[in-house]
């Protein structure tokens, strides 16, 4: 039996150390300028079953600068899910992102992005901890301020989330839980210059399961972004409020 002390050490290593190491390693190789912002992300996620194998992903994120007062980003994402097993799922989808000038190193103007993505997501457990792994590949078309045409980028992402029930062995309706995740982003391809490391996100939250279909999380996100020039590193302290609402339109047998 694995001890609680060892479990928490494992979660710490998996969720926090990789992002810390990557950001500091990259920063050490360039003359670094640090910009700090306070943001708020208000988000909805839904994975809705249409049949035994197929489903629909829906997602809207309102990202705000200065916690809530100023616009930062609008993100709308959708996709088609295919269930490989009860604990593994493939998704093919599309996202639209609109980014606004914000913070200490703002863009010159609002700019759009169109994105196609493919991902594999699966879950496993270790005693009371439930882990979610997500591997995502993105093809991005970004129209930077002052450009007439879109520039194409590739990016890969790995996300690891851990959930710990607080009331029993599993998270049941009307119960609280703890959640933490780390996600690292890496750019590649001919249009990427110095910012191969794109960003890292480290997150911790308190969650509450409303019912079998819905849960909410209130947490803190520490986001580190390396700007395309490779010199400016953006540190975003972010309040994150999330609603997860998964409906089942398929068979109830």
Specify the pLDDT at position 189. Answer: 92
Q: Is 124 exposed, middle or buried (0-12, 13-18, 19+ CB in 10 A)?
A: exposed
Tokens 């005693």 map to which residue? Answer: 127
Contacts of residue 2, defined as CB under 8 A and 6 or more positions apart, other chains included, come to: 126, 127
Predicted confidence (pLDDT) per residue in 150-209, tens digit = 999 999 999 999 999 999 899 999 999 999 999 999 999 999 988 899 999 999 999 999
Specify the pLDDT at position 61. Answer: 98
Check whether 6 has a pLDDT greater than 60.
no
Secondary structure element (H or E) that encloses residue 245, with its range? strand 232-245
Average pLDDT over residues 24-50: 82
| CA–CA dist 146, 218 (Å, integer) | 37
Quick one: which of 133, 137, 175 has its CA closest to 154? 137
pLDDT-derived band at 252, boundaries 50, 70, 90: low
Write out the two tokens for 50: 């249409």
pTM (two decimals): 0.87
Check whether 112 has a pLDDT greater than 80.
yes
pLDDT-derived band at 21, boundaries 50, 70, 90: very low
pLDDT-derived band at 229, boundaries 50, 70, 90: confident
| CA–CA dist 82, 54 (Å, integer) | 5
Choose the weakest-confidence range: 109-113, 145-149, 223-227.
Answer: 145-149
HSE-up of residue 236 (Cα within 13 Å, Cβ side): 27
Specify the pLDDT at position 31. Answer: 67
Contacts by 221-226, CB closer than 8 A, 24 or more apart: 221/41, 223/39, 223/199, 224/19, 224/23, 224/199, 224/200, 225/198, 225/199, 226/23, 226/26, 226/195, 226/197, 226/198, 226/199
Whole-number mean pLDDT of the chain? 90
Using a pLDDT cut of 70, give the percent of the chain over it: 87
Q: At what angle do helices 17-27 and 4-15 cross, to 10 degrees?
A: 30
Boundaries of every domain in the chain: 4-245
Selected residue with higher pLDDT from 56 and 251: 56
- Residue 144 CA, distance from chain mean position: 22
Predicted confidence (pLDDT) per residue in 73-92, tens digit = 999 999 999 999 999 999 99
Check whether 52 has a pLDDT greater than 90.
yes
Domain 4-245 has CATH 1.10.287: no
Secondary structure element (H or E) that encloses residue 57, with its range? strand 54-65
Average pLDDT over residues 232-249: 96
Check whether 8 has a pLDDT greater than 50.
yes
Specify the pLDDT at position 1. Answer: 40
């Amino acid at each position: 039996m694995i001890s609680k002390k060892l479990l928490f050490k494992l979660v710490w290593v998996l969720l926090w150390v990789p992002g810390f190491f990557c950001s500091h390693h990259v920063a050490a190789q360039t003359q670094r300028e640090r910009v700090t912002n306070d943001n708020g992300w208000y988000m909805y996620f839904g994975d809705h079953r249409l049949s035994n194998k197929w489903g629909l992903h829906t997602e809207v994120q309102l990202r705000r600068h200065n916690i809530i007062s100023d616009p930062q980003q609008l993100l709308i994402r959708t996709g088609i899910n295919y269930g490989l097993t009860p604990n593994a799922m493939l998704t093919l989808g599309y996202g639209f992102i609109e980014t606004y000038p914000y913070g200490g190193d703002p863009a010159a103007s609002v700019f759009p992005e169109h994105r196609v993505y493919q991902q594999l997501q699966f879950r496993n457990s270790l005693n009371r901890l439930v882990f979610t792994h997500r591997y995502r590949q993105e093809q991005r078309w970004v129209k930077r301020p002052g450009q007439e045409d879109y520039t194409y980028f590739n990016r890969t992402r790995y996300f690891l989330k851990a959930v710990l029930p607080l009331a029993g062995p599993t998270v049941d309706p009307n119960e609280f839980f703890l959640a933490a995740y780390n996600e690292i982003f890496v750019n590649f391809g001919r249009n990427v210059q110095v910012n191969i490391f794109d960003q890292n996100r480290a997150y911790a939250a308190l969650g509450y399961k409303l019912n079998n279909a819905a849960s909410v999380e209130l947490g803190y996100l520490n986001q580190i972004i390396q700007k395309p020039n490779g010199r400016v590193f953006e540190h975003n302290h972010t309040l994150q409020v999330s609603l997860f609402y998964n409906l089942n339109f398929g068979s109830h047998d």
